[in-house]
A and B are shown apart, each in its own frame.
Chain A
Amino acid sequence: MKSVNPRNVQVIIFLLVAAGVVLLALAGFIQPVIGTATNPIIQLQGYFTTRVQAVTEFITVPRDMASLRARNAELESEISQLQSQVIQLKQQLSEADVLYALLDFARQSPENQYIAAAVIGRDPSPFMHYVIIDHGSDSGIRHGMPVVTDQGLVGRVDAVTSKAARIQLITDPGSIMNVKLESLGVDGQISGSLTGETSLEMIPQNIDLQPGEIILSSGLGGSYPPNLLIGQVINVIKRETDLFQSAVIQPVVDFSNLNAVLVITNFRPVEIEPLIPSLIP
């Protein structure tokens, strides 16, 4: 009988074991064994990975924080600049609205020539109601020229330098001007006061003056052009003992928020002083 080669037996046994392992794996019996065998390795790997990551973060994170802080400061600076731009644009938009309104007004009255000017200051004295504008004689502004807005009459030029001019408002206590009542066709006078309240005077007692009456410049005296809107009557004061009736008027211009004005440059006030008779010949 021929003896079996031990090498062949080893091969056969190896193949049988391999086939058995494959069959066990296919049947799902070997997975717990593999899991049990690999778990310690996985845990060990996880332990080392965590430590390595911690060391890596320790080395790299401070640099990231510094760069993030720098970036944050950069973005905050950018936000501040953008907010500043937004405020400037809003201001420019507001100024543009005022200028568009003035432009519309100028187009509606093409017979006049205008110079637009910004209000840059107010009289330092609390007794006086004057404003200072940013255009002067270099722009063609002269003493006595009337000043308006799209709403109505503001006042007239009182003093001029090359680059600026001072405007006396119609609410100034020293301001007196001739006016007419639009619907009644009667002449009168308006005068300012310390408080900025404007009053209508010299209206004959027989005139039926009612609140709401529109007041326009009359052009008498030559200081202002005629038919500039001034305001309307809000309260009539009529006393039997007085020669004339008077009234409190509401100007159409909001003098507390006066930002831009138009100077009428083609009107020159008439100098009537030589025509006023004097006592000394």
Chain B
Amino acid sequence: MARFSLLNGVADLMMLILIAWALQDGSKNSWMWAIIGGLVIGFASAVPWFIFPICYLGIVGITQRFKSRIWQSPILAMMIITAIGTILLLVTEFIALQIMGINLKFSESLTRTILPSMLLNLLFAFPIYVLIREINKLIYPVKNE
């Protein structure tokens, strides 16, 4: 039940792990992990189940793009993609909930949910990146040397 929250925002650790993994040099199957992670989260959430896999796939796609362009500074890429990914995911959720008939005010959603979530995700981005980098080194030691 442990989750990190600020106002109504929460940190999306799954998204951070996916971004960090996709940024690693030796990482493989980021697309597959995006789908699996999205389905797991979508299954537990009351938000329509397909929102998370689609958004995570989009975020991994953006990460692959950034990886080839900002390859010299992966931490910077991690931060930028985290900010973009948080907005992409939460705005998509917001639109989906509006379509479902749940009345949410955008200004309130922005100030109490989207921005606090982004702040939390940015706070956790660096430690998650370092952790995933070390795991990646353990899994693919030869390629990284």
A-chain residues with CB within 8 Å of residue B117 when the two chains form the complex = 126
Looking at the complex, which of A115-123, A202-210, A218-226 is the stretch in contact with chain B? A115-123
Digitize A137-164: 1 where CB-to-B-CB distance is under 8 Å, 0 elsewhere: 0000000000000000000001100000
A-chain residues with CB within 8 Å of residue B97 when the two chains form the complex = 127, 173-174
Digitize B1-42: 1 where CB-to-A-CB distance is under 8 Å, 0 elsewhere: 101010011101010000000000000000000000000010
Chain B interface residue count, CB cutoff 8 Å, equals: 28
Q: Does B65 contact A (CB under 8 A)?
A: no
- Complex CA gap A15/B95 in Å reads 129
B-chain residues with CB within 8 Å of residue A125 when the two chains form the complex = 45-47, 93
- Complex CA gap A195/B111 in Å reads 11
Q: Does B104 contact A (CB under 8 A)?
A: yes
Q: A173-B103, A194-B112 are in contact. Are A128 and B9 (CB under 8 A)?
A: no
B-chain residues with CB within 8 Å of residue A159 when the two chains form the complex = 46
B46, A130: Cβ atoms under 8 Å?
A: yes
Separation in Å of the B108 CB from the closest CB of chain A? 6
B-chain residues with CB within 8 Å of residue A120 when the two chains form the complex = 1
Q: A173-B102, A194-B112, A195-B112 are in contact. Are A127 and B94 (CB under 8 A)?
A: yes
A-chain residues with CB within 8 Å of residue B1 when the two chains form the complex = 119-122
For B113, give its contact among A127, A130, A132, A172 (CB under 8 Å): A127
Q: Does B69 contact A (CB under 8 A)?
A: no
A173, B104: Cβ atoms under 8 Å?
A: yes
A124, B8: Cβ atoms under 8 Å?
A: no
- Complex CA gap A120/B44 in Å reads 11
B46, A128: Cβ atoms under 8 Å?
A: yes
Interface size grouping (class) on chain A? 20 to 34
B-chain residues with CB within 8 Å of residue A195 when the two chains form the complex = 8, 108, 112
For A194, give its contact among B44, B101, B113 (CB under 8 Å): B113
Q: Does A232 contact B (CB under 8 A)?
A: no
Q: Does A166 contact B (CB under 8 A)?
A: yes
Q: Does A217 contact B (CB under 8 A)?
A: no
B112, A124: Cβ atoms under 8 Å?
A: no
Digitize B49-84: 1 where CB-to-A-CB distance is under 8 Å, 0 elsewhere: 000000000000000000000000000000000000
B-chain residues with CB within 8 Å of residue A122 when the two chains form the complex = 1, 3
Q: Does B136 contact A (CB under 8 A)?
A: no
A-chain residues with CB within 8 Å of residue B94 when the two chains form the complex = 127
- Complex CA gap A112/B47 in Å reads 31
Q: A119-B1, A120-B1, A173-B104 are in contact. Are A194 and B45 (CB under 8 A)?
A: no
- Complex CA gap A121/B41 in Å reads 12
B109, A194: Cβ atoms under 8 Å?
A: yes
Q: Does B100 contact A (CB under 8 A)?
A: yes
B-chain residues with CB within 8 Å of residue A132 when the two chains form the complex = 44
- Complex CA gap A173/B12 in Å reads 20
B-chain residues with CB within 8 Å of residue A123 when the two chains form the complex = 44-47
A128, B10: Cβ atoms under 8 Å?
A: no
- Complex CA gap A140/B64 in Å reads 46
A127, B93: Cβ atoms under 8 Å?
A: yes
- Complex CA gap A130/B102 in Å reads 14
A126, B8: Cβ atoms under 8 Å?
A: yes
B108, A126: Cβ atoms under 8 Å?
A: no
A-chain residues with CB within 8 Å of residue B108 when the two chains form the complex = 194-195
Q: Does A168 contact B (CB under 8 A)?
A: yes
- Complex CA gap A132/B41 in Å reads 13
* Nearest neighbor of A132 in chain B, beta-carbon distance: B44
Separation in Å of the B36 CB from the closest CB of chain A? 15
A126, B113: Cβ atoms under 8 Å?
A: yes
A-B contact pairs, 12 of them (CB 8 A): A123-B44, A124-B3, A125-B45, A126-B8, A126-B9, A126-B117, A127-B90, A127-B104, A158-B46, A173-B102, A194-B108, A194-B112
For the complex of A and B, list the 4 residue pairs with the smallest distance between their C-beta atoms, beginning with the closest.
A174-B102, A126-B10, A125-B47, A128-B46
Other A-B contacts than A127-B8, A173-B102, 4 sampled, CB-CB below 8 A, are: A124-B14, A126-B9, A173-B104, A194-B8
